[in-house]
Structure 1
Amino acid sequence: MTENMKNKDVTSLVSVVVPIYNVESYLKECVDSILFQTYKNIEVILVDDESPDSCGKMCDDYEKMDTRIKVVHKKNGGLSDARNAGMKVATGDLITFVDSDDYISKDFIEILFEAMLENKSDIAIANMKRTSKRDEKNTSTAWKTSNFKSEDALISMLYGIPFGTSACGKLFKRNLFKGVEFPYGKFSEDLFTIYKTILKSKSVTYVEFDGYFYYYRDEGSIVVSGYKEKHLEALDAVDDIAGAVKGKTQFDNALSTQYINVIYDIAARNPQPLEFRNKRIQSILKAHRINVLKDGNAPKRLRAFAAISLFGNRIALKVVVARNRKWKV
């Protein structure tokens, strides 16, 4: 623990919610990364979502080993349902979410907690880093931080710069989730949810360190996972955000960027050309691609995609799928 932390209030309990399903090969590394945090005042809520492998037993074994662990066994209901179940038993002043095939750096909670204290913020955010091996190299203690007012934080989230829409990699004041749940059975559940906590917050702090790690796996790649009509639900989520900030023109460009980002994601899943000519997809492309093309704040890949889409569906699909196969996104 840093010298600064020794002089600060470290009595706040942090709830760590871990939804678990069919990840027996990854679960130990995930849970151990939480238990060995430099910040010790935590409760770890392992939510067994009726996992068909040995995860349920592993959770029970962990509970016997460490009094900070609570285990919830529930009927399978998906990621949102598992997170909601974990939140119901959480008692911490703060809460964070760790997916069970990911892990966090040993100082993840300490650094974010310290940032929240120093900046009097309601949410603190770390970098999320994709990796193919154990990779934890945080050695500096002088992290660069950026502070955002609520609406500015939401604009940054919609742009995906410097942080994105994931529930993971963030430390929240738990009261931000009062009246807020992850939507049951929805695709892109984080996009439906996290904006609500940001709008309820007064300030958000981003800390430029790699604190959250998720593995790249071929079988989980976006191209391999394929396209389903359910992926269109992400557009509903952006519609929800647009409705929440209706009439506030400062959000227009950021919303256009997020709409195009969702369409890009759909294209990367390699739908058939006829599926990609879905009326809703094409309507959104036409409505927002020029805004993105003209917006220097939009990510380059989205500006390029917006430009390519002007030349037709088939070309846009080929380029995006080829790029994602190359980079294994």
Structure 2
Amino acid sequence: MNRPLVSVIVPAFNVEKYIETAIQDLRTQTYDNLECIVVDDGSTDHTLEICKEIAKLDSRIKIISKENGGVSSARNVGLQAATGDWVGFMDPDDRMDPEMFEFLVNASEQRGCDVVACRFVIEYYNEFEITFPHNPNFDVITIEGRNECVSSVQQLINVFLWNKIFRKDLIKEMLFDSELTVLEDAIFVYRAVDRAKCIRVIDVPCYHYRYLFSGLTRKTKTKEYLKSLETIERFIHYCEAEKLECTTDLKKWYLFLSARSLEGLFSIKRAADLELYEQAKINICKYPDEKKCLPFLKRFYVLIAERSFIVYRMCIRFKGRGKRMWLTINKLHTGIPFWK
């Protein structure tokens, strides 16, 4: 029996430090019926040259070079080039376990399944690595029905692209919004699961999301966040009109993201920054009933952001220092050398 082809799309921009490792993780997958589509988005370092050299070693690797247009544009080019039955995504600075696609494809072999997801691990690169042991007897969770599928995003499968595969027929007419630079993946995931009839989740972490404290790609941009929040709010109105049960979870997520949108503002002395702050405050003041239902820490950040920008900035700084302190304590406790 022929196994389905999986197309894995890797958008790449100035990631010469990481891209070789990412592609190697794909090359060494135990499920070998893959095509790896690396879309170089106008890199100015050696990313493209590294990709071309690796592609000479493996015919499954396809390299596409384009002018810089952003991650959504790069993913759209990859989608148009994908020939697989299933489509997955990988960020070029992340890692994945060698069995990931074998597990996902095996779980997909149920009639009508449209999306398959796995758990993931967050790694604080050069700080501390959170790992989970493999469980050979992991459970596979099946979700069916439109309400249940859309609700599963916040409750179970998460908003990220990279821990999932999507049936190509499900997303063949979908594209990423090139106007968005943050949360574009979450919006794509919601649109996809709204079309899905069945989702399966394997209860084992296979994908390793590497959080780079100093990486420019992780920098929060308030203006871009606010633009994406407009799209999320339109989706909330759509779900309300369709009478989907996920609207409460979506509104709570919207409130938390509205508070997070302020993290990119270091002061509100300039008129432009003050205008962004006022817009973010309007967002934070929405949905009072859902605000009461937020978990304590998230509710705390939302309420502080609503009342005092200065206090909120102090809390954000403390949170960052506290995270680093926690990582240091874990290193001392586990005996991990500080230079790793």
TM-score by length of 2: 0.83
Q: Residues 122 and 210 of structure 2 are in contact (CA less than 8 Å); yes or no, is this contact kept in structure 1?
A: yes
Residue 195 of structure 1 aligns to a residue whose secondary structure is helix
2:168 — aligned with what?
Answer: 174
- DSSP 3-state at the match of 2:284: helix
Distance 1:210 1:117, change over 3 A: same
Q: Check the 8 A contact 2:159/2:186 in 1, yes or no.
A: yes
Structure 2: any 5+ residue segments left out of the alignment? 328-340
| Pair 1:78 & 2:70 matched | yes
Mapping of 1:243-322 within 5 angstroms? 243-247=237-241, 248=243, 250-273=245-268, 275=273, 278-293=277-292, 295=293, 298-309=294-305, 311-322=307-318
**Structure 1 Cα separation of the partners of residues 194 and 185 of structure 2:** 14
How far did 1:271 drift? 4.2
Is the contact between residue 260 and residue 289 of structure 1 (CA under 8 Å) also seen in structure 2? Answer: no
Match of 1:140 in 2: 135
Task: Write the distance in 2 (CA, Å) between the matches of 1:29 and 1:114.
Answer: 25
Q: 1: CA distance between counterparts of 2:82 and 2:118? A: 22
One-letter identity of the residue aligned with 2:18: Y
Within the candidate set 29, 37, 40, 1:37 is matched to: 29
Q: Identical aligned pairs, as a percentage?
A: 23
Q: How many residues align?
A: 315
Q: Cα offset for 1:103? A: 1.6
Helix, strand or coil at the partner of 2:39: strand
Q: CA deviation at 1:284?
A: 2.3
Q: Distance in 2 between matches of 1:263 and 1:278?
A: 10
- Residue 264 of structure 1: how far off its partner (Å): 2.8
SS for the counterpart of 1:205 is strand
Shift of 1:257: 0.9
1:124/1:206 contact within 8 Å kept: yes
1:110 aligns with 2:91: no
1:229-262 Cα deviation digits (max 9, x unpaired): 2221121221231133132262331121121121
Q: Cα deviation per residue 1:169-225 (whole Å; 9 max; x = unaligned)?
A: 111101121221011141221133111110111011222211111222221289x83
Let me know the Cα RMSD of the aligned residues: 2.6
| 1:112-261 superposed matches below 5 A | 112-118=104-110, 120-131=112-123, 132=125, 139-149=134-144, 150-157=146-153, 159=154, 161-187=155-181, 188-220=183-215, 225-247=219-241, 248=243, 250-261=245-256
Q: Compute the TM-score of the two structures, normalised by the length of structure 1.
A: 0.86
Q: Once the 2 structures are TM-superposed, how far is the Cα of residue 310 of structure 1 from its aligned partner?
A: 6.0
